[in-house]
Amino acid sequence: MALPHAAPGQPVDIRPLGDALRQAASHAILKTHSLELMRIVLREGQELPPHAVRGECTLLCIEGAVRIEQGGSFCELLPCQVVLLPARGEHAVTATKDSSLLLTVQLPPREPGSASSTQ
């Protein structure tokens, strides 16, 4: 979903989507050289399959519930809970309810030969 990124100093609404969640898609909120914010929308049963991100992430549950697997450990993330996803650690996220999440990714300096700053 192509939405303009927020500018510095411009508040962005991240309230729960409620009934609108069923038609919503994940979208970027803002991106700078060192931080990226996204709203991730996952409907019940949908997942972000196992993947690793170069930078550190936090995941904040806005609504719903997700199950997070990191290195063989599992946790459930409920509304108004935040969790750290360490850099380079592989993690998977599965929605156990219709959910939206605020993902904050710290973008480390590019490594020589790296084509992407986040993967």
Binding site for a second copy (CB under 8 A): 6-16, 29-30, 32, 34-35, 37, 55-56, 58, 60, 68, 70, 73, 75-87, 89, 102, 104, 106, 108-109
- In the complex, least distance from residue 85 CB atom to a second copy, rounded to whole angstroms: 7
Query: Which is closer to a second copy, CB of 44 or CB of 76?
Result: 76
Contact 118, 55 (CB under 8 A): yes
Cβ atoms of 41 and 25 closer than 8 Å? yes
Termini Cα distance of the chain: 21
Q: How far is the CB of 86 from a second copy (least distance, A)?
A: 5
Measured from the CB of residue 2, what is the shortest distance to a second copy in angstroms? 20
Query: Taking the mean position of all CA atoms in its chain, how far away is CA 119?
Result: 13
Measured in degrees and rounded to the nearest 5, phi and psi for residue 20 equal -70, -10
